[in-house]
A and B are shown apart, each in its own frame.
Chain A
Amino acid sequence: MENLSKDSLKKNPEFPKDRLEICISGSGGQGILLAGIVLAKAALREGKNATQTQSYGPESRGGASRCEVVISRGEIDYPKIMKIDLLLALTQEALQKQLPNLRQDGSTIYDSVFVKEPPPGLKNFLAVPFTQIAIEKFQNVLVANMVALGALVGISHVVSRETVKTTLLSSVRQNFQEINLKALQRGFEEADRYLAEKEKK
């Protein structure tokens, strides 16, 4: 996932320059919107530009839902995704639906609790049972999104871990700060494990 390092924002010589496109996709109620908002806010905190948009159906819960975050050092004109650099999929349907939009060298993170049949030939991926971790470790399924965000930031360095932590604290109510922060931290650990294994290879 070297292509996602912080420096790639500077170096990428191709048009659209300086542009990183992240798609967080799943089902309504999984907290993908909050994850995207925290990510976009964190990017702003680091002096970058970010846009966050969403697509969803008329249902308030349960329908397919997608959150798009574009991060750039320059002005962002087109605020939605053209080709996904980094895909976080929290359901089988979301993964299947978004894969055709993934850049060839793009990376995928998915929740292995809901994605039972990852497409054969998938490259550059990290599979973590986010939902299971949230339930077993935190007794709260709602923080699966933060475990996933931790993994996303942990392996991509699109923003620093410190920045995302600070941003998270300012984005959730005090009662929920601790559990969300711990969930995020747990996501970092998953990322570290992945990065260490990659190192060994």
Chain B
Amino acid sequence: MSHVIPPVSAQAMLMQGNEACAQAALDVGMRFFAGYPITPSTEIAEALAERLPKVGGTFIQMEDEIASIGAILGASLAGRKSMTATSGPGFSLMQELIGLGCLCEIPCVIVNVQRGGPSTGLPTAPAQGDIMQARWGTHGDHPIVVLSPSSVTEMYELTVAAFNIAEALRNPVILLPDEIIAHMREKIQIPETIKIVDRLKPDQPPEKYKPYAIKEGELVPRLANFGEGYRFNVTSLIHDETGFPSGSPQVTETLLKRLMQKVESSRKEITFVESRDLEDARVVLFSCGSTVRSMKEAAREARQKGLKVGWIKTGTVWPFPDEVFQNLPPNVKTVLVCEMNLGMLVHEVRRSAPDRIRVESVAIANGCFITPQEIVSGIETVYEGGR
């Protein structure tokens, strides 16, 4: 089910990334936020504390991040579009319940504004060290969608997308900006209309209702919201279509495979990739998040030096956009992965790129925003090589 509504403010303005996230969440219909404020995500909670009550929503400052994600999962089961916002230390605490959200198929959005880690690390410094944690932080095979904005405008757009994907797939979605994008102010034109997706409701009367039954041709259960007259049971154990625990190998395998299939079958709709100048490029740069900004500047400088350089940026980190690397044109010799960690995305690119392509990285983890100069010098190092 999707519909289009006009957001509150449709004009160009200077806005901070975190403010754009809060604005988008309100526009898309998020009405329950629980969180424990932490730099560099605090402005999201700050804005929502002020604005949610005015639109009939609920803001709760919880005692910690574990309670925060518990609260939003509960609110979501009761039918509210829900979200929390945190940074690395809080994201670590949330991992267990992210798994609960995945297994029990509870839509929600978790914003993790990345800062320097590990531990409390560098609270005010940018980093992209949570790429792998966002995918595999919670245990067991589980599906997850992770989006990474590279501008204030994308912070808005991908927040909207995160809610829509969460509702459509009934799965937690992680928005993974970094300190630069979250704290930066720049021009944004709030769109005049946005597409909004809402979760499907049961089409069976209460006496025939099975919460986790899957209709023919569908992959997502039509779970009733708590309190709407349907029998309600949710468990973190492996469960059958009644929602009660099951130890059956067949039930287990069917459930786990269906959960993964939900995301796999939506790859096309949830992959946000852009590229430029690949047609004649010898070296292709690849990045996500704020690193995209330095990468574009570096590509321009390299072109001015006469180097044939193109770039790919992805707004979707997970599922990883393998297909982009499988289909690179034959002129591409090297992919240079740029990231603010000691090398995470680079391994995914190595896995998905064909053997003929050499994959190298500019991996910067020093608490500073990666610079165009660092990337240009990386380009110069790899330019003559390749297979």
Contacts and interface: CB of A to CB of B under 8 A. Distances in A.
B350 interface: no
A55 interface: yes
A15 interface: yes
A58 B184 contact: no
Contacts of A80: 180, 369
Contacts, number: 59
Interface string B316-359: 00000000000000000000000000000000000000000000
Contacts of B373: 82
Interface of chain B: mostly helix, strand, loop or mixed: mixed
B155 to A, nearest CB: 13
B124 A15 contact: no
A41 B350 CA distance: 43
A108 to B, nearest CB: 23
Nearest to A41: B14
Given A44-B14, A50-B14, A80-B369, A16 B187 contact: no
B299 to A, nearest CB: 9
A176 interface: no
A53 B183 contact: yes
A79 interface: yes
Interface residues of A, number: 22
B138 to A, nearest CB: 29
B124 A37 contact: no
The winner among A15, A49, A53, A57 for most chain B CB atoms within 10 A is A53
A139 B27 CA distance: 43
B267 interface: no
Contact of B372 (A41, A57, A58, A82): A82
Contact of A51 (B123, B185, B371): B185
Contacts of B262: none
- B interface residue count range (under 10 / 10 to 19 / 20 to 34 / 35 or more): 20 to 34
A119 to B, nearest CB: 24
A49 B372 contact: no
Contacts of B12: 44
A115 to B, nearest CB: 25
A53 B300 contact: no
Nearest to B372: A78
Given A37-B14, A44-B13, A79-B186, A15 B304 contact: yes
Interface stretch (B51-59, B225-233, B290-298): B290-298
A150 B226 CA distance: 58
B364 to A, nearest CB: 14
A54 interface: yes
B301 interface: yes
Interface in A1-23: 15-16
A30 interface: no
